[in-house]
Amino acid sequence: MIDHTSSIVDDEASGLDGDQGPPILSVAELSALLKRTVEDTYGRVRVRGEISGFKQAASGHMYFTLKDETAIIDGVCWRGAAERIGVSPEDGLDVIVTGRLTTYPARSRYQIVVDAMEVAGEGALLKLLEDRRRKLAAEGLFDIENKRDLPFLPDIIGVVTSPTGAVFRDILHRLSDRFPRRVVLWPVTVQGKTAAAEIAAAIESFNRLGGTGGKSPVPRPDLLIVARGGGSLEDLMAFNEEIVVRAAAASDIPLISAVGHETDTTLIDYAADRRAPTPTAAAEMAVPVRADLLAQVEDDGARLTGAITRLLDNGRRHLDATARGLPDLSRLVGEFTQRLDDWTERLGNTMRVGLDGRRIKLARLAAEIPKPQQQLDHAKRQLKSEVRALMAAGRSIVAERRGAIQQASALLESFSYQRVLERGFALVTGDGESPIDSVKKLSPGMPVSMRFQDGQAGATINGGAPAGKPRKAKKRDDGEDPQGTLL
C-alpha cells in the first residue's frame, strides 16, 4: 500500500525537481488519496466486535462503534441495508459485520460501511434472548392468569404467516380433514428486517376488526394462529422481537403460537395463549375432529335414548307396584259415602235440636220483656210526678221573685221626688221641663213652672239671688232623711 501510494504521488509530481522535496497537497487532496487507497485495499471485509453507542437517525441510517479489548472502529449502515440485515442492533451485542472500509474526510476518520450483520455465535444470541425474556416476564406479559381459553369450535380462524410457504397449506389441509372452518389469511413476511413489524401489525389489525355486524368487509376471527416453518435461531428472530411479543400478549382474540419445529422456542410462545409444536399441531388445537364429534353425538344420543327407555320402564314398573298397593276404590268410596250419610243425618238432628233450644230461649226472653202498655203507664205516672214537682218549684220561684220585686218597688218609691213634694217642697222647671237646681240659672222676667204635690203653677222671676258661695246646710239632728232637702 505504501509503494502504491508513493507511485501515485510521484506521478502527480513528475514535473517537479526532486531536490525541492514532496509536492504540496491540499487537505482535500490528501483525504481523497487516503480514501481511494483504503477503499481499493479493503474493498470487502468481515469484522467481529461489540456494538457500542448505537443510534438510528430519522432517515433510517444506523450509526455505531465496533470495539474489542484494544481498538474501536466506526460503523455505518445505510437505510437500504438496514432494512435487510435481519438483526436489531443494540449496545453490547457481539456481532459479525460485512462491508467495505472507507474514510470520512470531514473528521479524518475511517469507518466500515456495513451491508450485512449477524450475531457472533449462538451463545451471545441466546443470552440476548434470555435477557429479553426476563425483562418481558418481569412486566407480566407471560403470566398464566392472563392466558385465555381457546374456543371449542371457532367459526372464523385468522392466520398470520407467509402466503407463499407450505405452512398455510398445511393448516388448511389439517382444518379440512378435522373440521372445515372459514380461514382468513393476513399475509406477512416471516423473516427479515420488516417481518417483526408486519407480524405485530397483523395481530393488532385482526383485533381491530369490527366483526360480521360491523362495517369491515373482513369478519373478526374467533381464534388467531401465528405460524412459521422451521429455521435457524437467526431465521426465527422476528418472533423474538418485543413488538411481536407485546402484540401477542395484548391480543383480545385467543392466540396460538406455531413457530418452527417442536424443539424451537421463541418469545412469542410465552406470550401466546397456547403454544403448538408445529403449524399442523396448531390446526389440530384449533378445531376438534368432526367425525369424532359425530360419533360422540351418535353415541351420546344412543346412550340418552337407552337411559330414557330405562327410565320409562322403571317408572312403569314403579307405577304398577304403586297401583297394586292402592286400596279398592269402590270399597273406599262406599265407606266414605256411608260416613257422609251419617254426618248428614247427624247434622240434621243437630240443627233441629239447636233450633228448638233457641226457640225456647227466645220465648223465655220474650216473656221477661215488659209489655208496652205497662211501660207507658209507668212512664205516665213518672211524668205526672215530675210535672207536679216542676209546678211546685215554679210557684215557689215566682213567689220568691214577686217578693223581691215588691221590695225593690217600695225602695224605689221611697226614693221618688213625689214623696219630697208631699213634704212641702216644689220642683222648679224651666223651658223643656228641665229642673232648675241653681239660682244662677235664673234671670229677671224668666218664666218658670213650679210643681207641687197636687198640681202645677207658673211664675215669673223678678230678681236673682246675690252672688256668693252658697251656705252649707246644717246637719239636722232629728234623724230625718236628708234626701228631701236636696230636691
Sign of torsion, CA 244 249 253 254?
A: positive
pTM: predicted TM-score of the whole model, two decimal places:
0.46
Chain segment 209-234, per-residue pLDDT in tens: 875 444 567 889 999 999 998 887 77
Average pLDDT across the chain, whole number: 83
Q: Would you state the cell numbers that stand for residue 392, as one nine-digit string?
A: 211546685
Name the grid cell of 289: 375432529
pLDDT score of 151 more than 90: yes
Please state the rounded mean pLDDT for residues 282-310: 91
**pLDDT of amino acid 465:** 53
The CATH number assigned to the domain with range 153-288 reads 3.40.50.261
In the chain, % of residues over pLDDT 70:
88
The full DSSP string for 168-179 is HHHHHHHHHHH-
Residue 431 has pLDDT above 80, yes or no: no
**Cα distances (angstroms) measured from residue 150 to each of 140, 162, 252, 282, 285:** 20, 23, 12, 11, 9
Has residue 484 got a pLDDT over 50? no
Give the pLDDT confidence score for residue 123 in this predicted structure.
64
Under a CB-based contact definition with an 8 Å cutoff, are residues 216 and 231 in contact?
Answer: no
- With cell 376471527, the residue in question is 221
- Whether the per-residue pLDDT at 235 is higher than 50: the answer is yes
Give the mean pLDDT of 363-392. 85
- Does residue 203 have a pLDDT over 90? yes
Grid look-up 449477524 returns 118
Task: Say whether pLDDT at 7 is over 70.
Answer: no
pLDDT(244) > 90: yes
Cβ within 8 Å of residue 205, ≥6 positions away: 186
**Cα 335 from chain centroid (whole Å):** 68
E strand spans, 203-303: 223-228, 255-259, 274-275
Q: In the prediction, which pLDDT does 159 show?
A: 95
pLDDT at 312 over 90: yes
Residue 469 has pLDDT above 70, yes or no: no
